[in-house]
């Protein structure tokens, strides 16, 4: 997946901690931030689960769409 440049505003202490961790691990600041976001958002877990699934993307989208429609409140007429 491609990378996108963005700008974020961080607390100075948070940025300092990112830089310390990056230096200790021999990584860049962006890599440490991305790893932290992936972990916090559960993306690493989702990727492991998806890699074990043999459902096609089309079927998965259809199933998700059906589930979404079932949980939406009915409109009053």
28-71 confidence digits (pLDDT tens): 999 999 999 988 888 777 677 777 778 888 888 898 899 888 88
In a domain, 36, yes or no: yes
Indicate the DSSP class of residue 74: P
Domain that holds residue 52: 12-71
In a domain, 4, yes or no: no
Tell me if 40 is assigned to some domain: yes
User: What are the tens digits of pLDDT across the range 19-35?
Assistant: 999 999 999 999 999 99
Number of domain units in the chain: 1
Per-position b or e across 33-46, b if 16+ CB within 10 A of its CB: beeeeeeeeeeeee
């Amino acid at each position: 997946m491609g990378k996108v440049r963005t700008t974020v505003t961080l607390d100075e202490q948070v940025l300092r901690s990112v830089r310390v961790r990056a230096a200790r691990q021999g990584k860049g600041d962006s890599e440490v931030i991305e790893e932290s976001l992936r972990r916090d958002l559960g993306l690493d877990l989702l990727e492991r689960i998806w890699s074990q699934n043999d459902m096609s993307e089309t079927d998965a989208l259809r199933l998700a769409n059906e589930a979404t429609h079932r949980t939406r409140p009915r409109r009053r007429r």
